[in-house]
Chains A and B, each alone.
Chain A
């Protein structure tokens, strides 16, 4: 049986070289090389990973950095992530950025072996070290503003929240949104639904799930739907648009997204999370010789999160904008503390 696999077994024991030994080990060359390792979904998810890529792209264009990218395989474990980060670091990339909290255990191991390389991790502060930069966001603050906007825009007093996958990160979005709605209109009702539960990450990927969930909430009287669900959120935006109701986008300004052009008039606003800037800033700091380290927090105060105002209809709602601006000021001044868990 399996002549092919027998041959593979032979070749697999043939030599003892390491995958990084053959890499172009030009770690001391002047041109900075930077690498990002993606989260599940990889490039093309129209969300998180694409935002990280945008940051790398910007660094390539403006800082003349040579960028490298690596994607995870389906169902891989920590050992695969360790191997990926190790080979990226050995190839002379600095910084090496892990996109997403799943990289935390791997970065903890690899960062110790490469003390001169800066490692970035997005959405995690559980691993720390002198050469680790923890890039984190106050998603709940942006979502709070979305809650204020939703409560103001809603006529029925019922609004919806759709979370992609029921994980702590998305619960931060829910917590902020619900608090924003309730603080603005205590009588308002928030319908909450999660599309899938881990380890099923379809809730970030399948627009039909977002569409069905949004349809259900619209049927129950919701007239603003906020979907924090990556690509699946586009289904919610579509459903809201077809029903003539409002939707709120997430991560990037979805009003300007080419794929959602047909529905953009009904996209009230989007909660932006500036992953691309965080990636760019880290690469720049390394190139400038002052690498970022420790917790780098992006909140409302630094416009790391915020609300987009590209929709002219949104700009026309002066009452709503006044309420959002006031809430923003109160959060920045510390008068309002937004919860991070529902």
Chain B
């Protein structure tokens, strides 16, 4: 049993490593093809990551990506592809910002209210896709993409000054008004010019532990993983698959809703036209790269945050910072390809081993299928 675990670990790690290596190599080839030094940008990025103000940005971004990616990963474990994380994140941030700006409560209560509203909004938006799937069989892939577009229009309408938005005097931006200071999540000041680490980053890390516990140590987690592996088999063993689909969609949406909180509670204190977007899409790649495992996803989130933030000053040095987008794009493709390669290799190896054992007249061991 122990020996097999080691194999499983190597095979599990081989996928991401293969994807990362190939994306780095391909990116260097792109740099070479455009006549640029392929090593220097990477060196600059690593140098940048040594500076404390960049480190603060990386840590904060990691928390944001981590929450969103946990939302995606939860869906993946259930065999649900929630592409709507970005819409859920934006709508939740917007609605919770409106609620947060309209009330004034004592500190912890104010924050709690904003967080709850964000979770409920995210869950509600994802829940629409969940209900469509369970009652009408609509693929969540299609419905969540469409809900992203609807969220965009809905937010654009809600944020108009005649509805819920505010246009500060002299500004061309639209905001939802400033949340009172009681609704600011305290952060850790890293010194003058270095910025603050958002307090919510630690909530994100704690939720990683909760995610691991809920999935691996509870009845609910077992049901969820079982339904993800085989809906019919789970149903046969008494799991209500429809209920599981809806529940996991709601939870996935709630996590997506939380991913806007570090920025909202720790930095902007308002939702505006310049609120960061695209978090939910990056999170899909991060969840894939991290193999939906809470620790793997954390490292993947850290890597993507590093790529984002350490590259931000590359253009000042004369290198296109878009290389990190190329790198991230290649990771998406490479990760899918390498997982399939590794899976096939794993299956073949397993078959081989069983064959050998049979030929040697050993007892037939029943190994479970190698899976994510």
Q: A17 contacts B52, CB within 8 Å? A: yes
Residues of B with C-beta under 8 A to A1 = 12-13, 16-17, 290-291, 293, 295-296, 299
Q: Give chain B nearest CB distance to A127 CB in angstroms.
A: 8
Q: Give chain B nearest CB distance to A98 CB in angstroms.
A: 12
Residues of A with C-beta under 8 A to B258 = none
Q: Give chain B nearest CB distance to A150 CB in angstroms.
A: 24
Is B300 interfacial (CB 8 A cutoff)?
yes
Is A6 interfacial (CB 8 A cutoff)?
yes
A87–B90 alpha-carbon span in the complex (Å)? 29
Most buried by A among B170, B174, B277: B170
Give A91's nearest chain B residue, CB to CB. B316
Query: Among A8, A14, A76, which residue has its beta carbon within 8 angstroms of that of B302?
Result: A8
A168–B181 alpha-carbon span in the complex (Å)? 27
Residues of A with C-beta under 8 A to B268 = 77-78, 105
Q: A11 contacts B54, CB within 8 Å? A: no
Residues of A with C-beta under 8 A to B168 = 126
Residues of A with C-beta under 8 A to B300 = 2, 5
A3–B278 alpha-carbon span in the complex (Å)? 27
Q: List 18 additional A-B contacts (Cβ < 8 Å) besides A101-B173, A124-B172, A126-B169.
A: A1-B17, A3-B17, A12-B49, A17-B51, A18-B193, A19-B51, A20-B53, A68-B316, A69-B316, A75-B277, A77-B263, A77-B268, A101-B172, A102-B173, A105-B268, A168-B172, A197-B153, A198-B273
A11–B52 alpha-carbon span in the complex (Å)? 11
B274-303 interface with A by 8 A CB criterion? 274-279, 282, 290-291, 293, 295-296, 299-300, 302-303
Is A113 interfacial (CB 8 A cutoff)?
yes
Residues of A with C-beta under 8 A to B309 = 80
Q: A80 contacts B274, CB within 8 Å? A: no
Query: Among B48, B152, B171, which residue has its beta carbon within 8 angstroms of that of A197?
Result: B152
Is A134 interfacial (CB 8 A cutoff)?
yes
In the complex where A76-B276, A124-B170, A134-B170 touch, is A6 in contact with B53 (Cβ < 8 A)? no
Query: Among A4, A78, A83, A104, which residue has its beta carbon within 8 angstroms of that of B303?
Result: A4
A13–B58 alpha-carbon span in the complex (Å)? 11
Q: B50 contacts A87, CB within 8 Å? A: no
Q: A20 contacts B193, CB within 8 Å? A: yes
Give B157's nearest chain A residue, CB to CB. A197
Residues of B with C-beta under 8 A to A124 = 170-173
Q: B321 contacts A71, CB within 8 Å? A: yes
Give A87's nearest chain B residue, CB to CB. B313
Q: A73 contacts B311, CB within 8 Å? A: yes
Interface size class of B (residues with CB under 8 A): 35 or more
Residues of A with C-beta under 8 A to B299 = 1-2, 5-6, 9
B contacts, CB < 8 Å to A: 12-13, 16-17, 20-21, 24, 46, 48-55, 57-58, 60, 90, 152-153, 156, 167-174, 192-195, 263, 267-268, 273-279, 282, 290-291, 293, 295-296, 299-300, 302-303, 306, 308-309, 311-313, 315-316, 321, 325
Q: A199 contacts B90, CB within 8 Å? A: yes
Q: Give chain B nearest CB distance to A74 CB in angstroms.
A: 6
Q: A77 contacts B267, CB within 8 Å? A: yes
Residues of B with C-beta under 8 A to A75 = 276-279, 282
Give A110's nearest chain B residue, CB to CB. B193
Q: B55 contacts A12, CB within 8 Å? A: yes
Residues of B with C-beta under 8 A to A63 = none
Is A166 interfacial (CB 8 A cutoff)?
yes
A175–B167 alpha-carbon span in the complex (Å)? 17
Q: Give chain B nearest CB distance to A60 CB in angstroms.
A: 16
A14–B302 alpha-carbon span in the complex (Å)? 15
Most buried by A among B53, B302, B325: B53
Residues of B with C-beta under 8 A to A79 = 57, 60, 195, 267
Q: B171 contacts A2, CB within 8 Å? A: no
Q: A113 contacts B193, CB within 8 Å? A: yes
Residues of A with C-beta under 8 A to B17 = 1-4
Is A143 interfacial (CB 8 A cutoff)?
no
Q: A83 contacts B49, CB within 8 Å? A: no
Is A86 interfacial (CB 8 A cutoff)?
yes
Q: A73 contacts B312, CB within 8 Å? A: yes
Q: A19 contacts B20, CB within 8 Å? A: no
A90–B48 alpha-carbon span in the complex (Å)? 16
Residues of B with C-beta under 8 A to A212 = none
A83–B276 alpha-carbon span in the complex (Å)? 15
Query: Among B46, B267, B274, which residue has its beta carbon within 8 angstroms of that of A102?
Result: B274
Most buried by B among A69, A73, A78, A84: A73
Give B274's nearest chain A residue, CB to CB. A102
Q: B195 contacts A168, CB within 8 Å? A: no
Residues of B with C-beta under 8 A to A87 = 53, 313
A244–B84 alpha-carbon span in the complex (Å)? 43
Is A82 interfacial (CB 8 A cutoff)?
yes
A76–B90 alpha-carbon span in the complex (Å)? 14
Is A243 interfacial (CB 8 A cutoff)?
no
Query: Among B49, B282, B312, which residue has its beta carbon within 8 angstroms of that of A11?
Result: B49
Q: Give chain B nearest CB distance to A83 CB in angstroms.
A: 6
